[in-house]
Amino acid sequence: MLTRRRFLESVAVAAITPALTYSCAVRRFGENPLRPDPNQLIDIPEGFSYTVVSRRGDLMSDGLRVPGAHDGMAVFDREDGKLILVCNHELYSPEFSDSPFLDGYETVQESIKERLYDRGGDVTPELGGTSTTIFNPATRETEGQFLSLGGTEWNCAGGKTPWGSWLTCEESFANPGPDVTGSGIEFSRDQRHGYVFEVPSSAAGLVRPVPLKHMGRYVHEAAAVHEPTGIVYLTEDRWHSLFYRFIPNVPGQLHKGGRLQALAIVGQPSMKTHNWEAADFPVNSTMQTYWVDLHDVDSEVDDLRHRGAESGAAMFARGEGLSVAGDEFAFACTIGGPGRLGQVFVYTPSPYEGTPNEQKAPGGLSLIAQADEGSLLQNGDNLTMAPWGDLLVCEDVEADMEHCAIVGIRPDGSQYLLANNAYSGSELAGVCFSPDGKTLFVNIQYPGTTVAITGPWPA
C-alpha cells in the first residue's frame, strides 16, 4: 500500500521534471485537458462543474457586503448536513472598494463596530477578517453569509483545528498610528497587527477578536495542528523566514498561552534552506532538527525572525501554504530553489514531539520538491492533500498571473492541471475539500470569488 510518507518522498521527482505524457490506453485522472469556461471564471476538466458560492460585493445575511480578496479557507460539517466555510479576506484599510462596508461605514450599526478589532478612529477601520458561508451541498446553494471576524489586516492563510475552529493569520506587522500608502492614501490604525485570531466554525455572527499574542507577532501565513499534542505549526511570508511551532499550555485552548519556538537543523546553526546559490539542502535529503526557544514574541520591533536566526533557527524562502499530511506536515516556500520557483518541505514530528525526550528521536525536515523552469508546478502557495492521495497545490506565479492553476501531483511524482484561472490575472487560494471528499472549494482571489467544484473524483 502506498503510504503518505512514500507519496511525499516521490513528489520530488515531479518538481524537477517536465509534465509527462503516457502511451497507455487507459487515461488516469488528470490526463484530460481542461475545458475552457464559457463564463470565463475558471477552467476545469470535462465532466466536472462548479457553483459560485461567494462573490465580492454580494449582500450578506447581516446586511454587509461580501468582502473581496478571498484567500485561505476551511470547510466544516454542520449537524444538518450543510457545510460551513470560513474564508479569509486579505485586505487592509485603504482597500474600501473591496470592504464589507461598501454601503458606507457611517451606516454600520454600533453592535457591529464594537466587535471590530481595529476601528481606525471610526474613520479608517481595518477591512480584513473572515466571512462565514453556509452552503447546502444537496442543492448547491448558498443559504447564508455573514462577517465572522472584522477589523484585522491582511488575513492571508491560516489553518483548520481539530476542535472545530479556523486560525486566521495576519500577514502584517504594523503598529498603531498614522500611515500612508504608496499612492498617497492616508489612514490610521488603533491597534497592533501581526497576530493569529481564532474563529469558531459554530459562530453565528461577528466574534469578539482576541489576538493570540503568545503565538507570536510577525508576518504570519499559514497554520496546521498536530492533533495528538495540540501543537500548532506556523509559516512566515518573508524572504528569510522561520518555521515555527507553538506548544500550548492547554491543548485546544490557545488563548491560555504557551511557548513559541523555531525549527533549527542539527549541526548547521542558522542554516539558509533557500538553495539560491548552492544546493545547501539537497532534494530528497532529510536533516535532523531541534527547536529554539523564542522570547519577547510580542515585540514592537519586527525582528523576531532575525533574533531566531541568531539563536540558530533555520531560514526559509517565503514560507506559505502548510497542510497536515497524515502524521507529517508539508509546506511550500514560494521562492525557494536556484530559479526561485518554489520548494516543498516536509516536517516529520518526533514521537516525543514537544517533550524533553524528543531529542532521543529528533524530528526530521525533508526537501521533497524544488521546481525549475521545466516543472509544471511553479511558485506553489496554498496546498491540501486530496482524499485519493494526491497533493493539490495552488500557484502564485507572479511572472504569469494569467495562468495561476491548481496543480495535482500524483504519488508517482507526475503532475497534472486540475484547474486554471486564465481570466482575472489572480492567484488561486484556499483550496480545501468538504469532509466527505465530494466537493472541492477554491478561491479566485481577485476580484473575489469562491467556487465549489464537483464531479467524478478518483475513488
pLDDT value at residue 18:
39
Convert the pLDDT of each residue in 135-145 to its tens digit. 999 999 999 99
pLDDT value at residue 210:
98
Q: How many helices (H) and strands (E) does the chain have?
A: 3, 28
CA distances from 176 to 120, 266, 296 (A): 9, 39, 19
pLDDT value at residue 425:
81
pLDDT value at residue 397:
78
Convert the pLDDT of each residue in 298-334 to its tens digit. 999 999 999 999 999 999 999 999 999 888 999 999 9
For residue 277 the three cell numbers come to 546559490
Q: Which residue do the cell numbers 486554471 mark?
A: 420
Q: State how far the Cα of 241 lies from the Cα of 263, in Å rounded to an integer.
A: 11
Buried b (16+ CB within 10 A) or exposed e, 258-286: bbbbbbbbeeeeebbbbbeeeeebebeee
Beta-carbon count within 10 A of 348 CB: 20
pLDDT value at residue 8:
39
pLDDT value at residue 375:
86
Q: State how far the Cα of 298 lies from the Cα of 294, in Å rounded to an integer.
A: 10
Convert the pLDDT of each residue in 69-88 to its tens digit. 999 999 999 999 999 999 99
Give me the residue spans of the domains in the chain: 4-26+56-388
pLDDT value at residue 456:
96
For residue 358 the three cell numbers come to 524528543
Give the chain's residues under pLDDT 70.
Answer: 1-27, 398-402
